[in-house]
Amino acid sequence: MSPETYLEQLEGKLKNQYDLERNTSFHGAAFDLQATFRIRNERYIVSKKAVVYAVEAAEYHFIRITTALPSWDEISALLNLFEAHYTDLVTMHEDHMNSIIQLTFIVEDIPADKSYRQKVQKLNKQISSFLGLKGWVDFGVMFYSVTKQDFLANRIGKKMLDAYSI
């Protein structure tokens, strides 16, 4: 399967639950697909105007097709970019619970280099607001190999595997 075919199939799978945007950029970083999912749950008494509490969660997926595997410096630069500008996506407020910013790279092959794989798997970035009282933002990184149909992801990225399995 080609990377473009996988991206089209993924787009077809996500279109019912996510807001999709093709060929987008975030502060100069280009992506082939951006998928956004937001949910809000509320509990109320008698009327919907009497909200007892509300909880909001969101997922922001930035997907890029790349022929060459990005270097660890490129991945770090992208993560630092999102970490510096996450407030352009996420608004931390009293109803915000958590958000996930997921970077996904569709590649031909995942490296066999153990040090590279360990860096990805051990990656753990999280930003909390007011000690978590106004929520937190997790950062996920995932690679999908179109030749082996295999994933390499950090802890947060592994939670997203169902969304990316075709």
How does pLDDT run along the chain (166 residues), one tens digit per residue?
Answer: 889 999 999 999 999 999 999 999 999 999 999 999 999 888 888 887 787 878 889 999 999 999 888 888 999 999 999 999 988 998 777 777 889 999 999 998 887 788 888 999 999 888 877 665 678 899 999 999 998 888 999 999 998 888 888 8
Interacting residues of 140 by C-beta distance below 8 A, sequence separation 6+: 100, 101, 102, 103, 153, 154, 155, 156, 157, 159, 160
Say if strands 51-65 and 136-145 run parallel, antiparallel, or are unpaired. unpaired
Number of domains in the chain: 1
Task: Please name the residue ranges forming H helices in the chain.
Answer: 3-14, 72-85, 114-122, 155-159, 161-164
CA distances from 59 to 48, 90, 143, 149 (A): 26, 10, 17, 23
**4, 65 contact by CB (below 8 A):** yes
Dihedrals φ, ψ of 11, to 5°? Answer: -60, -40
What per-residue confidence (pLDDT) applies to 133? 63
pTM: 0.89
- In the numeric block, which tokens belong to residue 91? 């608004």
Domain that holds residue 64: 3-164
**114, 151 contact by CB (below 8 A):** no
- In the numeric block, which tokens belong to residue 48? 């919907």
Say if strands 125-128 and 136-145 run parallel, antiparallel, or are unpaired. antiparallel
Closest CA to 34 of 42, 45, 25: 25
Closest CA to 129 of 159, 88, 102, 98: 98
What per-residue confidence (pLDDT) applies to 40? 85
What per-residue confidence (pLDDT) applies to 153? 93
**Tokens 């040090």 sit on residue:** 115
What per-residue confidence (pLDDT) applies to 112? 78
- Measured between alpha carbons, how far is 25 from 23 in angstroms, rounded to an integer? 7
